[in-house]
Amino acid sequence: MTNNPPLKQRIHSIDMVRGLIMLIMVLDHARDFFYYAGQNPTNLATTTPLLFFTRWITHYCAPTFVFLSGVSAYLSGIKKTKPELNAYLIKRGVWLILIEVVVMTFILTLNPAYNAIVLDILWAIGFSMVLLGLLVRLPIKLIAIIGCIIFFGHDVLDFINLPAAGIGSGLIKIFFTAFGTVFPIDSTHIIFDLYAVIPWTGVMLLGYVFGSLYKNTVNSDARKGLLLVTGICTTILFLALRTLNYYGDPAPWGAQQNWAYSLLSFLNTSKYPPSLLFLCMTLGPVLILLALVEKTQNAFARLLIIYGNVPFFYYVLHFLVLRIVNVIFFFAAGYTTNQIKTPGSPFLFNPPTFGYPLWVIYLLWFCVMVAMYWPCKWYGNYKRTHNNWWLSYL
């Protein structure tokens, strides 16, 4: 007789939504690596509706990842004491930051000298998780209040004259306003910060609060109703505030040459840092989707769950796969070793003339999604049937 560990139970609706977002995420990163260098898909003067949509649909990825990380943090704490959850979240947060700095920076730049350290989504999740770890001993209502203040109020900074230099300016950029911000380390090394910490922390805190809806003691119909109502209200708030064009986003929309581009302008909210309207535009529909798929069971749902079971594993591996393909395409296109490094750029294999049309991006997206299926299925089964302590960090 074998003593196999009990199979771990997961919440399928969360894994389904996360799996869908993870599949969409590949499209964004395929575009980053393979679309024509230097083309900004949200620049209304040069973009096309299809290119804009290719970027816009991927806006749902980061907010959903951070929000569901907060939900998962609550669920992981159900069988832990508050001190245990406090220690776990801080350690996991530091681990994610370390992976960002050491592993993801190398995958993104392929630069062994680490001339640029990239602070991307894992940095935001990791730091937010550390802050959540410091707050988990507070009553959940107080965490909800803090999360709401950050979520709804951080755009007040758009109306304040912030320090432009000195330590205060640096701290404000790190915590509130980072937008591809460059922090020099020395003459040859920089920190490239894409994600301001505090606005994303607000998202994680609210995710943690919503995690309480998934306790066994909560009626599923009540949970679905609350998710649906909150999602609808959040989406309506986006539409109302964006129409008023005053608060919630530093970039107001305006009438363009035709209705299609006016719609693009309306949807073109700010991700860096994430504005209130960006977060409402993305998280409102996600909350609605969480309610609608609560009891969905079909082949597509099972497919999404395979990906959604292993978010960290998938995230790192898909970047590695895309980067390897990027190097192969680089040499296949006729570039030489002399062109690996672009003068003035710490990112290797990224010459300014490199790039492919959108149909190639979508084909690569499909191929990488398919290629990721088997390793994700294997690792998901391994995690589900094993209780090694280190699995909670991967």
**pLDDT tens per residue, range 230-268:** 999 999 999 999 999 999 999 999 999 999 999 999 999
**pLDDT tens per residue, range 168-214:** 888 999 999 988 889 999 988 999 999 999 999 999 999 999 999 99
Distance CA 278, CA 67 (A): 14
Q: Whole-angstrom distance between the N-terminal and C-terminal Cα of the chain?
A: 30
Distance CA 77, CA 88 (A): 9
* Integer CA distances (angstroms), 363 to 54, 134, 142, 195, 266, in order: 13, 44, 47, 29, 29
Residue-wise DSSP of 270-315? -TTTTPHHHHHHHHHHHHHHHHHTTT--SHHHHHHHHHHT-HHHHH
Question: In DSSP terms, which residues pair with 182 in a beta bridge?
Answer: 192
Cβ-based burial of 240 (10 A; exposed 0-12, middle 13-18, buried ≥19) = exposed
Confidence band for 163, pLDDT divided at 50, 70 and 90: confident
Instruction: Give yes or no for a contact between 307 and 23, defined as CB atoms under 8 angstroms apart.
Output: yes
Instruction: Give yes or no for a contact between 384 and 7, defined as CB atoms under 8 angstroms apart.
Output: yes
Phi, psi (rounded to 5 degrees) for 357: -70, 170
Question: In DSSP terms, which residues pair with 271 in a beta bridge?
Answer: none
Nearest Cα to 29, choosing from 1, 64, 62, 4? 62
Tokens describing residue 326: 């990027």
Distance CA 11, CA 310 (A): 13
Give, in degrees to the nearest 5, the angle at Cα 9 between 7 and 12: 135
Q: What is the 3-state secondary structure (H, E, C) of 59-73?
A: HHHHHHHHHHHHHHH
Tokens describing residue 227: 């998710």
**pLDDT tens per residue, range 260-315:** 999 999 999 999 999 999 999 999 999 999 999 998 999 999 999 999 999 999 99
Nearest Cα to 345, choosing from 226, 159, 147, 190? 190
Cβ-based burial of 335 (10 A; exposed 0-12, middle 13-18, buried ≥19) = middle
Cβ-based burial of 128 (10 A; exposed 0-12, middle 13-18, buried ≥19) = buried
Distance CA 124, CA 131 (A): 11
**pLDDT tens per residue, range 10-58:** 789 999 999 999 999 999 999 999 998 778 899 999 999 999 999 999 9
The residue written with tokens 């599923």 in the block is 220
Residue extents of the structural domains in the chain: 12-393
